[in-house]
Amino acid sequence: MKKLLIMKKLLIVSFLIISTRAYSQIEWSDFSTSFEKKQDNPSLGAAIPYNGIYDNFEKNIVGISHWNPQYKLNIDTALNDEIPLYFVYDTAGIYFLVPHVNEKNAGDFEFTVLLNNKATITPWSHIRQFTQESTGDMEAGSGITGNYRAGIGQYLVAHLRNKQGLIVSSRVIYFKKNAPEIKSLSTSDNALVFSKLLNSENHFDEQQPDIGWHRQYTGNLSGETDKLKLSYNENNVLVHINSKIYRKEALEYAVFKKDEEIRKWGGNEYDNNFILLKNLDPGDYIIRIRFKRQRSSIIELQFSISSVWYKTVAFKATILVFLILAVAFLIFLSEYRNQKQALTVINKKAEQSAEALNNIHALLNPHFTFNALSSIQGLVNKGDMDAASKYLSSFGELLRETLKESKTDHISLTKELENLEIYIGLEQLRYPFRYNLNLDPNIDLYSSTIPPFLLQPFVENAIKHGFSKMNGQGVLNMSINKNGNTMVVKIVDNGPGLGNSSIIEGYGLSLSRKRIELLNKNYGEELIRLQLENTSHGTLISLSFKNWL
């Protein structure tokens, strides 16, 4: 029994020794140390982490918070004014150093640590941890405490006393808010200019090579009231942070365009003190910047990039006004017959467009083109130029996508859905209805493919035959699900249904059926299967893609 107790004591002592030695293994190159150089007199010092930034603390005395009203620190006035005060910025925590206290004389001294000089974190205790190597003028084997931290705006108070109970040294560590400071913002139409100018403090030095147009902004750049308005050719932005950063990942930032986060929070990937944003599109931007060591303190830089003159709202408004005047002039001078003739010409052009689109596998059927042009003509006649402009712009975008993908056998499923949403948005301008899309989370929309514009004719059939007379009560439901290796697409409308009559197929729907037959012939088997079903509540169109996923 006595041997067992001795073994337990030895294990406990060994554990304490191992813990003390392991805890005191600090990579001193990652810390800044500060302590008084008193000859053989123990005192308190501090080891403060760099975390990639050299300017990691400021040194003062406690009295500064008592004498100077601009320092609103709320430090206890009972503390002696002469106690050294350290402003630190890293919430990772600090270590207290005790030079000239070692394993031989550790029993002669005790230390305590308080939070805000009120709550006791560590009661009076002997030093039990010691450094394994020297740092600066502090010898190896000197005393060191554990790691201490506090929230921003709080402070630690450490005291060291001798065995007579006399306090021989004190330190106050104040965790101060510290956000990055923007020194300057440079812009250019060529991002390569920054790689040439990066090492120059003066970006406009005459010695610098002229490789691109550039401009520099300085002063107080942060805050909503200081929002910069940049020209369209200032779409490459270099932000200079005024800090002694030696590891670029110590700086983190996120980028927002309007309310959308286009660059998630992450470390800086360009250069220690510089953030580079390249080839930005026109729009309103916010850059939020913080130090990794203090993520709660964030600074914002807001700026906007204008559009090219011919893409501005003013230019488009001028063109729109001109079109309105032209249409009004034609309406005023023309009689009903002339309008009818003009409509005939438009219909003929729509038919010609439809014939051209047939050569690219009926990616957009001629009825939609005709209806779109008719809808535009109707909106112009009513004087609703905003809606007409929006309709024309979306219609043009859809046509561009059609032409761009006409030579492609398959596109990603997500691209097909994007094109389909543009088309549905156009139809909702003519027939108000609700659209619901349900996607199986097991389907990867980016890697899964589909023949381009295959779904559009089926959606068009549901809208035209189901919703044209429902006065906004129509509901279009589409689902895409995975059944084994088969992808199943269902398009359901709540139209009046066709009872026992046969399903009326429009030209686009008929052409799509032929297109599926041709695709299956090229595949060598029936990979795509089309089913149409009438119900009392509407029409169900089902497309099964066998062994597709």
What per-residue confidence (pLDDT) applies to 380? 75
Q: What is the pLDDT of residue 40?
A: 74
pLDDT above 90: percentage of residues in the chain:
31
Q: Which one-letter amino acid corresponds to residue 102?
A: N
Tokens found for residue 368? 């939609």
Task: Using a pLDDT cut of 70, give the percent of the chain over it.
Answer: 79
pLDDT for residue 211 is more than 60: no
C-alpha 457/C-alpha 461 separation (Å) is 6
Give the model confidence (pLDDT) of 21-40 as tens digits. Answer: 334 467 888 888 888 776 77
Burial class (CB in 10 A: 0-12, 13-18, 19+), 5: exposed
* Residue 235 reports pLDDT greater than 60: yes
Identify each DSSP E strand in 220-337 by its residue range: 228-230, 236-241, 251-257, 260-267, 274-277, 283-291, 294-305
pLDDT at position 327, please? 75
Reply yes or no on domain 182-307 having CATH 1.10.275.10: no
Q: Is 445 helix (H, G, I), strand (E, B) or coil?
A: coil
Tokens read off for 388 = 């007409």
For residue 437, give both structure tokens.
């899309």
DSSP string, 58-110: EEEETHHHHH-TT------TTS-TTSEEEEE--TT-EEEEETT--TTTGGGEE
Is residue 1 pLDDT above 60, yes or no? no
SS3 state of residue 246: coil
Question: What's the residue count for the chain?
Answer: 549
Mean pLDDT estimate for the chain: 80
Specify the pLDDT at position 208: 45
CA angle 168, 174, 179 (to 5 degrees): 155
For 435-549, CATH gives: 3.30.565.10
Average pLDDT over residues 295-319: 81
Cα–Cα distance for residue pair 2/21, rounded to 1 Å:
29
Q: Residue 438: its pLDDT value, please?
A: 94
Which amino acid, one-letter code, is at 370? Answer: F
In the prediction, which pLDDT does 521 show?
A: 86
For the chain, the structural domain boundaries read: 24-175, 182-307, 312-407, 435-549
Q: Given this model, what pLDDT does residue 378 score?
A: 66
Interval 247-270 mean pLDDT = 91
pLDDT at residue 2 in the model:
46
- Which residues have C-beta within 8 Å of that of residue 17, sequence separation ≥ 6? none
- pLDDT tops 80 at residue 443: yes
Residue 78 CB partners (closer than 8 Å, separation 6+): 117
Indicate whether 269 pLDDT > 70. yes
Those residues whose C-beta lies under 8 Å from the C-beta of residue 36, and which sit 6 or more positions away, are 43, 45, 84, 99, 169
Task: Report how far apart, in Å, the C-alpha atoms of 523 and of each of 59, 79, 409 are.
Answer: 76, 85, 12
Q: How many Cα neighbours within 13 Å face the side chain of 501? A: 7
pLDDT per residue as tens digits for the range 38-96: 677 899 999 988 888 887 888 889 888 777 766 778 888 899 989 999 989 887 889 99
Reference 135, options 268, 34, 213; nearest CA is 34
Q: Which residues pair with 135 in a beta bridge?
A: 138
**Average pLDDT for 389-395:** 79
Position 15 pLDDT exceeds 50: no
Asked if the model's pLDDT at residue 281 lies above 80, the reply is yes
Q: What pLDDT is recorded for position 191?
A: 81
Compute the distance between CA of residue 410 and CA of residue 452 in angstroms, rounded to an integer. Answer: 6
Residue 338 has pLDDT above 50, yes or no: yes
311 Cβ contact partners less than 8 Å away, ≥ 6 residues apart? 282
Question: Within a 13 Å sphere around the CA of 84, how many CA atoms are in the beta-carbon half?
Answer: 19
Q: How many CB atoms lie within 10 A of CB 219?
A: 9
CB 30 within 8 A of CB 246: no
Q: Tens of pLDDT along 447-501?
A: 999 998 889 888 888 887 778 777 888 899 999 999 999 999 999 988 776 544 4
What are residue 94's DSSP bridge partners? 148
**Pick from 144, 131, 143, 34: nearest CA to 88:** 34
β-pair partners for 476: 435, 493
Mean pLDDT value across residues 182-188: 87
Contact 305, 281 (CB under 8 A): yes
Beta bridge mates, 288:
254, 300
Asked if domains 182-307 and 435-549 share a fold, the reply is no
Beta-bridge partner residues of 544: 488, 529
DSSP one-letter string for 113-176 = EEETTTEEEEEEE----B-SS-BTTBPTT-EEEEEE---TT-EEEEEEEETTS-EEEEEEEEE-
Residue 411 host element (H or E): strand 411-412
Residue 261 pLDDT > 90? yes
**What pTM was computed for the model?**
0.51
Residues sharing a CB contact under 8 Å with residue 53, sequence separation 6 or more, in sequence order = 243, 244, 245, 246, 247, 250, 291, 293
Describe the chain by its helix, strand, coil percentages, rounded to 5: 30, 30, 35
What confidence score (pLDDT) does residue 184 get? 86
Over range 124-153, report the average pLDDT. 90
- Mean pLDDT of all residues in 331-354: 60
More confident residue, 466 or 276: 276
For the stretch 393-425, pLDDT in tens is 877 877 777 777 767 788 999 999 998 998 888
Q: What six digits make up the tokens of 417? A: 């859905």
